[in-house]
Amino acid sequence: MARDFYEVLGVGRNADQSEIQRAYRKLARQHHPDVNKDPSAEARFKEISEAYDVLSDPEQRKRYDAFGEDFRRVPPDVSPEEWRRAQAYAGAGAGAGAGGPWPRGDPGSGGVRFTDVEGDIDLEDLLGGIFGDRGRTARGPMPGSDQEFEAEISVEEAYHGAQRSLTITGPDGQRTLDVNIPAGVVDGQRIRLRGQGGRGTGGAEPGDLYLIIRIAPHPRYRVSGRDLFATLPLSPWEAALGATVPVDTPGGLATVNVPPGTSSGRRLRLRGHGLPNRRGERGDFYAEAQIRVPSSLTREERRLFEELRERSTFDPRRQR
């Protein structure tokens, strides 16, 4: 059974959107595969992203609160009370010791079946038996199944948004969709495309297509949640004396103040220069100092470095 989404994010069921967002940002930074090298980090990050995608959407959250993990497959005109009655009915039919009804996935069929020791119990039959004429009507038309598709985008596309043409192959055949990817998507985020999933039967509505975003590795930037990281090359004198230097970000050229005495590895933050966020604060951009020295010296440069060596009392091996 899937973990409760509220438990995944570590928030209460009455948490507001700001609490959910803060919890997501904290966990996403902690478990992002680019930062956390634990083999289980990627699966944990996907779980966190799915929980946030559902709980940050008021409509999805309402259905999740009503139906739990079944919220994506419950017919839209069935109430929570009716659904619980159907499950209880199925559990009684499964018999003691069978552990109640368990769904056996068949995403291409658009229906859900339950298995017991005697054989298969069709949920559509249960709905017909419990809900009378309404259930028998639902037995014909059934909504289409939801589908998933992974789309790889660049850091720049995640920052600015993009128009993409995607070719999707599914149970209903191959088709091409023109998709608007909004600015500020993060790796693992699910974008719902209403009505673009599997076809319904009997004139029922189609399912939804969930686009799973994957941000491709970049030669200059590293991504963690909404935060971006990049190396900032510095000369020895810039690091020692301090300087104001340009930084190339996905949003354009910015400047960062390098404090005097900066060592390699120090992170200098540019607040709000990370990935956008439609629901709250933008991410930050971190420039990581990397001190570089000339590969060859002029005669004057060598003389100055030699003079510095003779006059300086600095010993980097004794610094902490």
* Burial class for 296, CB neighbours closer than 10 Å (0-12, 13-18, 19+): exposed
Does residue 136 surpass a pLDDT of 70?
Answer: no
* Strand spans (E) along 18-119: 103-104, 113-115
For residue 293, being part of any structural domain is answered with yes
- Is residue 168 within 8 Å of 116, Cβ to Cβ? no
Residues 211 and 258 placed together within one structural domain of the fold: no
Provide the pLDDT for residue 253: 93
For residue 158, being part of any structural domain is answered with yes
Rounded to an integer, the average pLDDT of 31-59 is 83
For residue 34, being part of any structural domain is answered with yes
Q: How many domains is the chain built from?
A: 3
Does residue 222 surpass a pLDDT of 90?
Answer: yes
Full-model pTM: 0.56
Residues 28 and 125 placed together within one structural domain of the fold: yes
Residues 127 and 20 placed together within one structural domain of the fold: yes
174: tokens are: 């191959």
Residues 9 and 135 placed together within one structural domain of the fold: yes
For residue 105, being part of any structural domain is answered with no
For residue 116, being part of any structural domain is answered with no
Dump pLDDT digits (tens) for 91-102. 555 444 433 333
Residues 14 and 31 placed together within one structural domain of the fold: yes
Residues 154 and 134 placed together within one structural domain of the fold: no
| Structural domain harbouring 171 | 147-215
> What span, in angstroms and rounded, lies between the C-alpha atoms of 300 and 280?
53
CATH code, domain carrying 129: 1.10.287.110
Residues 128 and 172 placed together within one structural domain of the fold: no
Domain boundary among 164, 188, 215: 215
The overall average pLDDT reported for the chain is 80
State CA 23 to chain mean position distance.
13
Query: Which run of H or E residues covers position 130?
Result: helix 123-131
Rounded to an integer, the average pLDDT of 168-195 is 85
CATH code, domain carrying 158: 2.60.260.20
Nearest to 53 by CA among 157, 146, 176: 146
Residues 18 and 89 placed together within one structural domain of the fold: yes
Q: Which positions ≥6 away from 316 have C-beta within 8 Å?
A: none
- Categorize the per-residue pLDDT at 89 as very low, low, confident or very high, splitting at 50, 70 and 90: low
Rounded to an integer, the average pLDDT of 283-298 is 93
Dump pLDDT digits (tens) for 303-320. 999 999 999 988 888 865
Q: Give backbone dihedrals phi and psi of 318, rounded to 5 degrees, phi first.
A: -105, 0
Residues 165 and 51 placed together within one structural domain of the fold: no
Cα torsion 33, 37, 39, 42 to 10°: value is -10
Nearest to 146 by CA among 73, 217, 83, 94: 73
